[in-house]
Chain A
Amino acid sequence: MNLGRTVAVRLLVFAASLLVASAAIFLVINALPGDIATAILGFGADPASVAQLRLRLGLDRPLVVRYLSWVGGMIHGDLGRSYLTNEPVSALVAPRVAVTAWLVVISMLLSSLVALPLGMLAAVKRRTWQGAVASAASQVGLSIPAFYAGILLVVVFAVGLHWLPANGYTDLVVAGTWRPAQFLQHLVLPVASLVIVQASVLARYVRSAFVEVLNEDYFRTARAVGWTRWRALWRHGVRNAAISVVTVIGLQLATLLVGAIVVEQVFRIPGLGTALLSAVSNRDLIVVQGIVMVLVFAVLVINLLTDLSYLLIDPRLRGGRAR
């Protein structure tokens, strides 16, 4: 299989997944028991206004037609309009995507920065007390729910020490002026609560990936030609371990995205999660449908990029003989 074909297959799978996922979301919202208009207005609503809403939402059309028009709109960036405010969903979502993206991307970078050395240490020193301590720390870290970590951090650093704000969010640029200090101040605790969990999960995978490398013959070869243990690990271990670690980082980005939804609530951050949950409690189903689709799209894109990044790391997949 050559490189071009591999990429084409991956893209095709991505497109198919997107289609199936969007159909699933649409069916859950539109085909589950209970009419969408009744759901929005509540069960006690009078039949006349339900009928009026059905007409306005175009519910008189067949399911397939409605699905296709929804998908067609999305291709042009149109996610429909909120029932409550009549605002386009895309206009509601766009500024919030940035907020959540900051949270997720910064958390992922920091988690990797913490987890890589921690996992490597746990692998190299796995037979000594340092390794045991590193493993135990990550075991504990991954048992803590991110929102609990968030609350504890607030108790210590906001309520107890008054070092940082307990909640809230400031944009990086407000009315044309840069506010990096306030921006970071508000992100420290939410990011920290996500990092505690993510770094622990990641560190465990990094550890097992490196333990595998340490047992490989080529690692022994590298030491036999004159690398010290640590430099051999850096030179020949990182790339090989990266093959499995990258998968985990990809999968973890998805869980991080979900974790961010909850952590946004702890810190009252106006991100995508907050928008989604308020749409759920307002029964604004068109908005719910749109935001869930955006989140699932993000997860699928991350999976695609993870898949494609293997091709860069692992020469065995790049053509020539397959593994």
Chain B
Amino acid sequence: MNRSGGDGTTPLLQVTDLRIEFGRSRREVVHGISFSLEPGERLGLIGESGSGKTVTALAVMGLLAENASVTGSIRLAGRELVGLGDKDLAPLRGALMSMVFQEPMTALDPTMPVGRQVAEVLLLHQHLPRGAARGRVVDVLGEVGLEDPERVADAYPHALSGGQRQRVVVAMALINRPDLVICDEPTTALDVTVQARVLKLLDAELDAVGASCLFISHDLAVVSQLCERVLVMLDGAIVEQGSVAQVFTAPTHPYTRGLVATARLDAVAPGERLPTVEDYYARQDRT
């Protein structure tokens, strides 16, 4: 397994001074963050809900609501994405970069068999005869660990379980072998046992495709299983970054220390009160 970033090469994703504002009041929710992602690298993005991590991911995909304004720079494989219109971004989405969402129960169109939804992603970016597309879809559904992929392809989403649906979503994200896969809390909505299996699948599939991954989670433990580097985001700013080992063993920011303590409940002596993030980092701006 090659998990090291490519030294000296240009980064796959280079985000510089990214600012995101919403609405007429121009409320800023991301305050000029910068980070980069090397080809083949997996980067964890950690923070609580409302910290701006999902908004950051949607900005990279160009999927923010129309009332959002994005400034700064997002370069994907050397190409500037900020300022591109929907028409210019659409061909990149699903081909060069793709996304796995948090909520598998609602991520698929309820009125269409899932096989057709996967085939659509294929046909949208590659010119293939319909029959060939069907074969490829069934292959990919098998690769993501779905049993009886022929039958699954003809099923409507409501007939599948959450885990099965998330596998379908993963298949849609990977079928065109993108360079960048953004995973937004892909296992949060799943049962714990299913969670572990889907994480393992993601791990294997990302390797098979050779894609980079921006992995968003509020859970340090999950990120540490998949990623080699971590960014910690708090209130729209990056407060800490480094390798997983570094952040785990020697966190510098008090908020990160709190995160690590809550992620390592095995270190708590029996009978002692469980730690909370607030023990380490008291918010000043909570009103």
Contact = CB atoms under 8 A, between A and B. Distances in A.
Interface of A: 127-128, 216-218, 220-229, 231, 235-236, 239-240, 243, 313-316, 320-321, 323
A320 B111 contact: no
A224 B156 contact: no
Closest 6 A-B residue pairs measured CB to CB?
A: A226-B94, A225-B94, A217-B106, A225-B121, A239-B111, A315-B156
Contacts of A323: 158
A321 B259 CA distance: 41
A179 to B, nearest CB: 43
Interface stretch (B3-11, B95-103, B249-257, B267-275): B95-103
Contact of B95 (A127, A218, A226, A240): A226
Contacts of B86: 228-229
Contacts of A225: 93-94, 98, 120-121, 124, 172-173
B112 interface: yes
Chain A contact surface mostly: helix
Contacts of A239: 109, 111-112
B108 A227 contact: no
Nearest to A127: B67
Nearest to A239: B111
Contacts of A316: 110, 156, 158
B204 interface: no
B172 A221 contact: yes
A240 to B, nearest CB: 6
Contact of B94 (A216, A220, A224, A321): A224
A224 B124 contact: no
A222 B111 CA distance: 13
9 contacts: A223-B93, A225-B94, A226-B93, A228-B87, A236-B111, A313-B111, A314-B111, A316-B110, A316-B158
Contacts of B72: none
A310 to B, nearest CB: 11
A224 B98 contact: yes
A243 B109 CA distance: 13
B159 interface: yes
Nearest to B103: A217
Given A217-B107, A225-B93, A226-B125, 7 more contacts: A217-B103, A220-B107, A221-B109, A221-B172, A224-B61, A228-B86, A320-B156
Given A315-B156, A316-B158, A228 B110 contact: no
Contact of A216 (B67, B106, B156, B158): B106
B169 A315 contact: no
Contacts of B158: 315-316, 320-321, 323
A220 B103 CA distance: 11
Contacts of A243: 111
